[in-house]
């Protein structure tokens, strides 16, 4: 069901790499996932941005990233453009991207019961390598949308989230959630607490669009 969609999704997903030096023969740990929403512009989960990195800091904070098909071919540098930890979103920019493939973001909700999936690079803790030369782990998982819920944000404002029914292995924050068509309906964010037992929570595609457009990204509608 998702084979064709996954082929196109992989062209626009990126692993966020560790910002600190790694020991010899260490694994290449993922700091999370980002995905391109317009040429040169990526969105990710705010929790994937290390504490202390803020867009207003000078020089502008940069992250090392690598596109899924480019693993083993070198990394790219992305600048942090905007960060909203309350909304759980961050925007990155690559000034001269190797690829301009990007994903279509839906601007309407999807019904409960919709089949969906995610793909990306789960975050792993820094530590001894599981084996010499271990590399990034790209994962795919299918699910169904089980709820569209309203919660309260940090300031008491209403926040809408999707919930899906399949438990996530590890912390897959920043991974795009997509339909068999390849359209993106949301982005995974891991809730606080025990991420192994919590059902996955998703920032909606509508909030991604509002965040991007609020930062001057002219995204087209995808309905």
120 lies in the same domain as 177: yes
Instruction: Kindly report the CATH number assigned to the domain that includes residue 55.
Output: 2.40.10.10
Choosing from 48, 76, 102, the residue where a domain stops is: 102
All residues at 6 or more sequence positions from 113 whose CB lies less than 8 Å from its CB, including other chains = 144, 145
Q: Is residue 223 part of a domain?
A: no
Altogether, the residues listed in the chain come to a count of: 223
Q: Is 220 part of any domain? A: no
Given this model, what pLDDT does residue 126 score?
44
On whether both 57 and 127 belong to a single domain, the answer is no
Which range among 17-21, 66-70, 154-158, 215-219 shows the weakest confidence by mean pLDDT? Answer: 17-21
Mean pLDDT computed over 196-218: 85
| CA dist 46 → 96, 112, 163, 199 (Å) | 23, 26, 18, 19
Give the residue numbers spanning the domain of 20. Answer: 12-102
Tens of pLDDT along 22-73? 444 555 566 889 999 999 999 999 988 877 676 666 556 678 899 999 988 8
Cα end-to-end distance, the chain, whole Å = 20
Report the number of distinct structural domains present in the chain.
Answer: 2
pLDDT score at 130: 46
Query: How much is the average pLDDT of 158-168?
Result: 83
From 77, 102, 127, the end of a domain falls on: 102
Burial 135-166 (b: 16+ CB within 10 A, else e): ebbbbebebebbeeeeeeeeeeeebebbbbee
Residues 16 and 98 in one domain: yes
């Amino acid at each position: 069901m998702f084979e064709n969609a996954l082929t196109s999704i992989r062209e626009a997903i990126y692993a966020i790499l560790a910002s600190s030096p790694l020991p010899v023969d260490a694994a290449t740990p993922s700091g999370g996932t980002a995905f391109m929403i317009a040429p040169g512009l990526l969105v990710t989960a705010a929790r994937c941005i290390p504490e202390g990195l803020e867009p207003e800091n000078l020089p502008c904070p940069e992250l090392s990233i690598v596109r899924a098909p480019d693993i083993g071919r070198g990394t790219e540098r992305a600048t942090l453009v905007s960060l909203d930890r309350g909304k759980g979103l961050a925007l990155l920019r690559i000034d001269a991207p190797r690829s301009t493939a990007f994903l279509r973001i839906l601007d309407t909700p999807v019904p409960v019961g919709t089949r969906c999936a995610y793909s990306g690079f789960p975050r792993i803790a820094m530590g001894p390598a599981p084996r010499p030369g271990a590399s990034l782990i790209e994962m795919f998982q299918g699910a169904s949308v089980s709820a569209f819920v309203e919660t309260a944000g940090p300031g008491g404002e209403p926040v809408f989230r999707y919930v899906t029914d399949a438990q996530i292995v590890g912390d897959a924050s920043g991974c795009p959630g997509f339909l068999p068509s390849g359209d993106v309906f949301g982005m995974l964010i891991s809730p606080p607490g025990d991420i192994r037992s919590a059902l996955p929570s998703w920032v909606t595609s509508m909030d991604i669009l509002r965040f991007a457009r609020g930062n001057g990204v002219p995204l087209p509608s995808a309905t």
